Amino acid sequence: MTFPLITRRTALIAGGAVFVAGSAGALTVSQQAGARKFVLVILRGAMDGLAAAAPYGDAYYRALRGKLALALPGELDGVLPLTEGFGLHPKLAFLHESWTDKELAILPACASPYRERSHFDAQDVLETGASQVFGASDGWLGRALNALPVNELHEAVAISGALPLVLRGSPHATSWAPSFAPSASDDTLSRLMDLYADDKLLGPALASAIETNAIASASGTDSMDRKGRRAGPGAYFGLAEAAARLLSAEGGPSAAVLSFGGWDTHANQGAANGQLALRLAGLDAALRALKIGLGSNWSKTVVAVVTEFGRTVAENGTGGTDHGTASAAFLLGGAISGGKFAGDWPGLAPTALFERRDLAPANDLRAVFMTVLREHWGLEQSLLSRTVFPDAAGVHAMAGLLKV
Amino acid sequence: MPGTIAASIAVNRFGLGARPGELDAADRDPKAWLARQVANKSSFAVASSGLMTTGGAAEALASYLEDARTRTAGKAGTLSPQEQEDAILKPLAQLKEIAAGEIEARTLRGIMTEASFAERLVLFWSNHFTVSASKAVTIPFAGVFEREVIRAGMTGTFADLLVASTRHPGMLLYLDQAQSVGPNSKAGLRHDKGLNENLAREILELHTLGAQGGYTQADVTEFAKALTGWSVAGKRTQRFVPGADPGDFIFVKAFHEPGKRSVLGEKYRSDGEGQGEAVLRALANHPSTAQRIAAKLARHFISDRPPPAAVDQLARSFRTSGGKLPALHETLISLEAAWQPDAQKFKSPNEFFLSALRLTGLARIERTGIIGGYGLLGQAPFQAPSPEGWPDETASWAGPDALIKRIEWAQALSDRLGTSIRPVDMARAAFGPALSPRTATSISRAESASQGLILALMSPEFQRR
């Protein structure tokens, strides 16, 4: 059987016999490719990247950030030192360990192609992978799944009730969330399947749900406690735990999408402590839960943590920040060749700011996603810049961010 | 078999689903049955005994804030994330009690009302002007906002509704307006606070013109400056407006940015409080607003992709009537596209929940059952995930897991109702001739009445409207 979209590199990594099949130059790969896990974490509401990965060494940092500026490394509540004058927020202890273990790469100034400041339109562009608002009605991860060989591992699960836009358009995507109600009998479910025989919406949705539920109950995920349903940053942890369990289950999917909300800190965002710090601590705990839960799968895992846009560099009038442009993105996991920054850093000098108020977009978020899809999953660049990300001819995957 | 297809559309697509006997009531003249609800002020009212006024909610909030301050005072940095969360969440119980009362009142109204088209309109507009209880300070206000602003405004104009919504403490706190200060105002020059553009941006993007409606960042900033001074009476504002009761709308002159403003090319003289209102009224009458409201209404009642002609008809009605809501709602009833026999909208969890309880004819339901049900189905009232409100398209609600949750909830409901129910009759009473033979057969062949009810509630026709 041939899988024309898998590259030579993936095939070699997979360790299987490699031979050219047919005129398209396609290669045969073993099932191993599907064991390479990808977790996409979307921070909804615009996470302040300058608080998460603080450029404390930048000459303009302290003056512009005002009360939001973090203390120096070694000081009380100081940033956790990285290199090049950057430090992680003091609540991001796990991420700092990962940096030290060379499992974290940071892109300090990323943005999608979207340049306005609406959360909803920005999330639309982030998830569709298009170059403009409403440029596509399905998501880039869904299209990437469709491009992979059909294989039970090449599936994705969103840890949420509804399917997020990024996964729409793929029959290989499903959603799952912990439940505490009595479950329906198999007989009722099969009668409903009959009732939905001609229903193009409900039939496939129920079939997919029944399959995911079977995986969840086999892996013990459905017996988790109520943590998964708590609101706010306390809930991130339980959702991440559930994602890890589903991903590492026998026959589990190779991708998971987590959405964490609550990042729209217009007022009283705080610095080392406070509202944003609480969310960053929740995020850090969730990422640690992913590593622990994935166990031996961690070495084959990439986690991308992204947000729809950044926030203003300067503190606003109410101790918070308003909608901005670029923000930090994180690539984390055992498969990452980390402990370093990737991409460009435009700096905080007034002339370097976008529209004289925001961190300038120095790196295209689509390049971050392409890096994962190309280097981790082995999708071809030409496919990535045409089909998975329409109108992305000038955007390319970055080299050197994944372990070989 | 009761009723015609038109009656089924009136009660199911425009309304919240039939209660027993309702199909017959609508059948005499489905359009007139709907039109009566739109014109009648009492259709939109909810029993508010035991619920708080805006002022009462403000007092409860003040006492909560005092309690939270006492618990965290002097402990910054020493508390674990869990302890910090507890310190904030524990005193919230009282505020949540207020919110639970509001949810209960709205739910009982939704189940019992004979004017369920009016109720659907309330839910639509309440979602358009979302005040979510996602912040501690908005928990006590989200419900009373719906009663005192949305319900009370349903027989007036869009412009009046927009102004009332923007002045309400729930909105002013939810979108950070209450503390916004003009940089050159008296308070701004002393540097205690500054401009916050959140509310101004969301009014332009979500309440009026829409993101593609033709405004710039400069318009957002100018509008935000025009709104400075619009605030909520509380501890911090006592010295500026001494007589105000907590929670009152107040205009704080010392916060207001002095000078002329220019928004969307229009100039606004500096006349304090009136400046913000003048901008709001201009936005309400902007052609992009008419188009956007029309598109949202058509999408909500007809289909995810409504025919452009239907949208244009609604936009025209909005413009020619000066934004009169009853006229707009009557135009909706008159749209041919709204009477297509094929149901194209997948019910939101809230619509599914209320229509299921209406179908069973249940007269009461405990508060825990209400809150738990909404939680399971994924749409807790007054807790929309963002200022954009709840999504209004099939793809957002018809996910595989969401479907399983509906089945589980239907199972819990039918477990509770026991075996004395007659699900085939219930389904016929709700749909009349619109009940498909396949569904009717499936229900009648169920292994138990309880399973039959699950099949009825989960049938393709009941999941849609």
* Sequence-distant (≥ 6) Cβ neighbours of residue B418 within 8 angstroms: B450
B388 and A212 within 8 Å at the Cβ level: the answer is: no
Query: Minimum mean pLDDT among A203-217, A251-265, A303-317, B71-85: which range?
Result: B71-85
pLDDT recorded at residue A225: 38
The 10s digit of each residue's pLDDT in A63-79 is 999 999 999 999 999 99
A 12-41: CB under 8 A from B:
none
Structure tokens at A330: 């994180």
In a mutagenesis test of the A interface, which of B401, B406, B454 is the best target, namely the one with the most A β-carbons within 10 Å? B401
CA distance linking residue A210 with residue A212, whole number of Å: 6
Name the pLDDT band for A345 (thresholds 50, 70, 90): very high
Q: Residue B43 to residues A50, A393, B264: CA-CA distances in angstroms? A: 51, 56, 37
Residue A163 contacts B where some CB pair is shorter than 8 Å: yes
Q: Of B82, B181, B211, which has the smallest distance from its Cβ to A116's Cβ?
A: B211
Say which residue the tokens 């992009």 belong to.
Answer: B288
pLDDT recorded at residue B242: 87
Give me the percent of chain B exceeding a pLDDT of 90. 72
Task: Determine how many CB atoms are found less than 10 A away from the CB of residue A382.
Answer: 9
> What does DSSP say about strands A255-260 and A156-158: parallel, antiparallel, or unpaired?
parallel
3-class SS of residue B258: coil
Strand ranges inside B27-176, DSSP E = none
The single-letter DSSP state of residue B242 is: T
Chain A nearest-CA distance from B19, in A, is: 24
- Phi-psi category of residue A393: left, alpha or beta, with phi > 0 → left and psi -120 to 50 → alpha: alpha
**Between residues A302 and B369, which one has the greater pLDDT?**
A302
pLDDT recorded at residue B76: 64
CA distance linking residue A32 with residue B194, whole number of Å: 56
Q: Of B195, B385, B463, which has the smallest distance from its Cβ to A316's Cβ?
A: B195
Helices and strands per DSSP (H, E), number in chain B? 26, 4
Is a pLDDT exceeding 60 seen at residue B336? yes
pLDDT recorded at residue A14: 28
* Sequence-distant (≥ 6) Cβ neighbours of residue B414 within 8 angstroms: B421, B449, B450, B451, B453, B454, B457
Q: Of B76, B386, B459, which has the smallest distance from its Cβ to A273's Cβ?
A: B76
Residues in chain B with CB shorter than 8 Å from the CB of A269 are none
C-alpha gyration radius of chain B: 24
Structure tokens at A1: 């059987």
Is a pLDDT exceeding 50 seen at residue A30? no
- Average pLDDT of span A110-120: 92
Q: If we measure between CA atoms, which residue out of B237, B232, B236 comes closest to residue B247?
A: B232
Is a pLDDT exceeding 60 seen at residue A33? no
Show the 3-state SS of chain A.
CCECCCCHHHHHHHCCCCCEECCCCEECCCHHHHHCEEEEEEECCCCCHHHHEECCCCCCHHHHHHHHCCECCCCCCECEECCCCCEECCCCHHHHHHHHCCCEEEEEEEECCCCCCCHHHHHHHHHHCCCCCCCCCCCHHHHHHHHCCCCCCCCEEECCCCCCHHHCCCCCEEECCCCCCCCCCHHHHHHHHHHCCCCCCHHHHHHHHHHHHHHHHHCCHHHCCHHHHCCCCHHHHHHHHHHHHHHHCCCCCCEEEEEECCCCCCCCCCCCCCHHHHHHHHHHHHHHHHHHHHHHHHHHEEEEEEECCCEECCCCCCCCCCECCCEEEEEECCCECCCEECCCCCCCCHHHCECCCECCCCEEHHHHHHHHHHHHCCCCHHHHHHHHCCCCCCCCCCCCCECC
Name the pLDDT band for A18 (thresholds 50, 70, 90): very low
Name the pLDDT band for A298 (thresholds 50, 70, 90): very high
CA distance linking residue A52 with residue B246, whole number of Å: 37
- Average pLDDT of span A296-322: 95
Q: Of A77, A201, A318, which has the smallest distance from its Cβ to B193's Cβ?
A: A318
Burial of B231 (0-12, 13-18, 19+ CB in 10 A): buried
Give me the percent of chain A exceeding a pLDDT of 90. 65
Contact A135, A177 (CB under 8 A): no
B388 and A233 within 8 Å at the Cβ level: the answer is: no
Question: Which chain A residue has its CA at the smallest distance from B377's CA?
Answer: A161
pLDDT recorded at residue A152: 59
Residues in chain A with CB shorter than 8 Å from the CB of B391 are 162
- When the pLDDT of each residue in chain A is averaged and rounded to a whole number, the result is 85
CA distance linking residue B131 with residue B171, whole number of Å: 6
B198 and A205 within 8 Å at the Cβ level: the answer is: no
CA distance linking residue A272 with residue B77, whole number of Å: 8
Task: Determine how many CB atoms are found less than 10 A away from the CB of residue A229.
Answer: 16
Burial of B406 (0-12, 13-18, 19+ CB in 10 A): buried
Is a pLDDT exceeding 60 seen at residue A10? no
Is a pLDDT exceeding 70 seen at residue A214? no
Q: Of A119, A168, A195, which has the smallest distance from its Cβ to B442's Cβ?
A: A195
Question: Which chain B residue has its CA at the smallest distance from A182's CA?
Answer: B408
* Sequence-distant (≥ 6) Cβ neighbours of residue A270 within 8 angstroms: A68, A276, A277, A319
Contact B253, B229 (CB under 8 A): yes
CA distance linking residue A355 with residue A263, whole number of Å: 22
Residue A67 contacts B where some CB pair is shorter than 8 Å: no
The 10s digit of each residue's pLDDT in B297-316 is 999 999 999 999 999 999 99
Question: Which chain A residue has its CA at the smallest distance from B379's CA?
Answer: A161
Q: Domain A37-178+224-388, what fold? A: Alkaline Phosphatase, subunit A (3.40.720)
In a mutagenesis test of the B interface, which of A92, A192, A257, A353 is the best target, namely the one with the most B β-carbons within 10 Å? A192
Chain B nearest-CA distance from A7, in A, is: 32
Question: Which chain A residue has its CA at the smallest distance from B403's CA?
Answer: A206
Chain B nearest-CA distance from A30, in A, is: 30
- Average pLDDT of span B392-410: 92
pLDDT recorded at residue A218: 58
A163 and B460 within 8 Å at the Cβ level: the answer is: no
Contact A100, A332 (CB under 8 A): no
Q: If we measure between CA atoms, which residue out of A86, A79, A124, A135 comes closest to residue A359?
A: A86
Name the pLDDT band for B445 (thresholds 50, 70, 90): confident
pLDDT recorded at residue A35: 82
The 10s digit of each residue's pLDDT in A134-163 is 888 899 999 999 988 776 568 899 998 778
Q: If we measure between CA atoms, which residue out of A216, A348, A244 comes closest to residue A303?
A: A244
Burial A319-351 (b: 16+ CB within 10 A, else e): bbbbbbbbbbbbbbbbbbbbbbbbbebbbbeee
CA distance linking residue B443 with residue B455, whole number of Å: 6
- Average pLDDT of span A374-389: 94
Is a pLDDT exceeding 80 seen at residue A252? yes
| Domain presence at residue B253 | yes
| Domain presence at residue B255 | yes
Q: Of A120, A181, A278, which has the smallest distance from its Cβ to B376's Cβ?
A: A181
Is a pLDDT exceeding 50 seen at residue A25? no
pLDDT recorded at residue A318: 87
Kindly tell me the sign of the dihedral angle through the C-alpha atoms of A115, A39, A273, B141.
positive
Q: Which residues pair with B206 in a beta bridge?
A: none
A163 and B442 within 8 Å at the Cβ level: the answer is: no
3-class SS of residue B391: coil
The single-letter DSSP state of residue B15 is: S
Chain A nearest-CA distance from B210, in A, is: 10
pLDDT recorded at residue A232: 61
Chain B nearest-CA distance from A85, in A, is: 24
**Between residues A25 and A292, which one has the greater pLDDT?**
A292
pLDDT recorded at residue B270: 75
> What does DSSP say about strands A255-260 and A37-43: parallel, antiparallel, or unpaired?
parallel
| Domain presence at residue B62 | no
The 10s digit of each residue's pLDDT in B240-276 is 888 888 888 999 999 999 999 999 999 998 779 999 9
Chain A nearest-CA distance from B412, in A, is: 7
Task: Determine how many CB atoms are found less than 10 A away from the CB of residue B152.
Answer: 16
| Domain presence at residue B280 | yes
- When the pLDDT of each residue in chain B is averaged and rounded to a whole number, the result is 92
3-class SS of residue B400: helix
> What does DSSP say about strands A53-54 and A37-43: parallel, antiparallel, or unpaired?
unpaired
pLDDT recorded at residue B450: 84
Q: If we measure between CA atoms, which residue out of A317, A316, A118 comes closest to residue B204?
A: A118
| Domain presence at residue B377 | no
Is a pLDDT exceeding 60 seen at residue A22? no
Q: If we measure between CA atoms, which residue out of B348, B345, B364, B371 comes closest to residue B417?
A: B364
B378 and A162 within 8 Å at the Cβ level: the answer is: yes
Question: Which chain B residue has its CA at the smallest distance from A320's CA?
Answer: B196
Q: Residue B357 to residues A64, B1, B398, B399, B463: CA-CA distances in angstroms? A: 55, 22, 20, 22, 13
Name the pLDDT band for A15 (thresholds 50, 70, 90): very low
Look at chain B and count its residues.
Answer: 465
**Between residues B445 and B129, which one has the greater pLDDT?**
B129
Query: Minimum mean pLDDT among A9-18, A290-299, A358-367, B423-432: which range?
Result: A9-18
- Average pLDDT of span B182-210: 92
What DSSP assignment string belongs to B156-188?
A: SBHHHHHHHHHHSHHHHHHTT-TT---TTSHHH
CA distance linking residue B23 with residue B8, whole number of Å: 7
Is a pLDDT exceeding 60 seen at residue B220? yes
Residues in chain A with CB shorter than 8 Å from the CB of B378 are 161-162, 177
3-class SS of residue B2: coil
| Domain presence at residue B258 | yes
Name the pLDDT band for A219 (thresholds 50, 70, 90): low
The 10s digit of each residue's pLDDT in B343-377 is 999 999 999 999 999 999 887 788 888 888 998 89
Name the pLDDT band for B190 (thresholds 50, 70, 90): confident
Look at chain A and count its residues.
Answer: 404
Chain centre to alpha carbon of residue B83:
33
The segment with the largest mean pLDDT, out of A164-178, A261-275, A300-314, B375-389, is: A300-314
Structure tokens at B220: 């957002």
Give me the percent of chain B exceeding a pLDDT of 70. 96
Residues in chain B with CB shorter than 8 Å from the CB of A160 are 399, 401
What residues does CATH 3.40.720 cover in chain A?
37-178+224-388
Q: Which residues pair with A323 in a beta bridge?
A: A311
Q: If we measure between CA atoms, which residue out of B317, B306, B314 comes closest to residue B344?
A: B306
A183 and B408 within 8 Å at the Cβ level: the answer is: yes
A205 and B399 within 8 Å at the Cβ level: the answer is: yes
Name the pLDDT band for B463 (thresholds 50, 70, 90): very high
The total number of structural domains in chain B stands at 1
pLDDT recorded at residue B65: 82
Structure tokens at B75: 């402990």
- Average pLDDT of span B196-202: 96
**Between residues A233 and B197, which one has the greater pLDDT?**
B197
Is a pLDDT exceeding 80 seen at residue A164? yes
Q: Residue A132 to residues A101, A110, A119, B11, B121: CA-CA distances in angstroms? A: 37, 16, 14, 39, 32
Is a pLDDT exceeding 90 seen at residue A62? yes
